[in-house]
Structure 1
Amino acid sequence: MARTIVVTGSASGIGKATADVLENAGDRVIRVDLKEGDVTADLGSAEGVSAAVDQIADLSGGVIDGLVANAGVSHPTELSLKINYFGTVALIEGLRPLLAKSEAPRVSVTTSAATLQGNDPELVDLMLAGEEEKAIERGTALTAQGPQIGYANYSSSKRAISRWIRQVAPTREYAGAGIGINGVGPGQVFTGMTTDLFSTEEGRKMAADAMPTPYNGIAEAEHIAAVHEFLISEGNARMTGQVMFVDGGYDAQSRGDNIW
């Protein structure tokens, strides 16, 4: 039976690949993006998230079976906090009542292998505490110190959303309602956002030094989409609270046995 799945950031990259894979498999996909899609909304603002939730409710008839919360940016600024964490959490929470009406509700979030990199612990804690104003203030201060320091906005947003997934997964609101929620942490991926980076030898070397991918090199968006497809499927009936690093071996190389 066809399922109704919402995919955010669906106009390009991983989001488009995921939406295409799901549609080709026979699911009904509600595409959400900033400028094109079934729903157009700015998921970096409270008003945009609210408008998106209302439109998705109308289009779906009040029930959705899955959500691929993929929309995000890799900015070394506080914009990463607004979209990658606060907007993502608000959208998931806003759509939770629609998911709870499904017989097999699933959520899969695009996080990043950058969650394993250096971040700002204070900023992560502020996000997890829901202190948006203070987090934006902290993020703005990091931005002012230049892109190298400002990168912590991005890595911290991904660390925070990864931790949030694990915190909410076993709760009454999620596990208790039958809603499975997991994350996908891509490493290096060919997308529109990385075209410039991977177009030069210098850029490719910089990326390889920061995030080595010993297994099969740089991924295509379709490789990440395949993992999202499984995580939101009815077949994924027991996995929740996990962040699956689809990173060509970066996690295993960087953390080794330390996770145990």
Structure 2
Amino acid sequence: MASRSMRFRAFADRFTTVPEVAQAIREAGLGKCGLIFGIDYTMSNKVQGEKTFGGKSLHKVEDDLKNPYQEVIEILGQTLECFDDDRIIPAFGFGDKTHKQEGYFPLNEKRECVGFREVLDTYNRVTPSVSLHRPTNFAPLIHKAIQIVQQTRKYHILVIVADGQVTEEQETQQAIVTASHYPLSIIVIGVGDGPWGMMQEFDDRLPTRLFDNFQFVNFHEIMSTSNYAPASFALNCLMEIPDQYKAIKQLGYLDYQQQC
């Protein structure tokens, strides 16, 4: 019998709205979870919109046009927020010039964002003043997400929105493998022109993981080819979550919740 994720893939076109996708994911077994959001502020964002964003920087903030990062935040906000019981969303940037030593920085320095609307508002406020830099390395953010999971003792979904290839490949690979020891799912959303070969390697391989904890989604490809683009995008982001959540429970990562 086909897995839940395969059934979702096969019947993707039956979802025409984002709330329908959220309801389907809930019915497939996902209950409450925590959310963590990461945004790529590396220099390549300036040129990665040549084909897919009219030659503009992917972080261009304008009143009359949403950039890909803003679209991703809005769509996933509609889909995921209903699963987040406390609505607290740690949101981070990475790859900027100021915080290159730490590897990431909180979007809101005063406190964590509450709800995706605040994530979006904070992104809009902070982004114009961020100095884009390098390298593209997911590892510090993944380790921060692991730390949050350890502290909160609950299942989380880490969403990373990024514009291209990882430059620190080995470090990122090891962080993904390490994350498979915790109740954490990682969704990487590729915005811009790509290429995406390394992301697909992370998605399909890394055999030393204890479960398949990584999902890659090509934002532009889905948004430009689907009849119901936002719903299709949300579906592709979340289609593996039910099976990942099932694997996490089978591995006993959530047993402590029953003891609390």
With the length of structure 1 as denominator, give the TM-score of the two structures: 0.43
From the two aligned structures, give the one with the greater helix fraction: 1
More contact order relative to length (CA 8 Å, sep ≥ 6): 2
With the length of structure 2 as denominator, give the TM-score of the two structures: 0.43
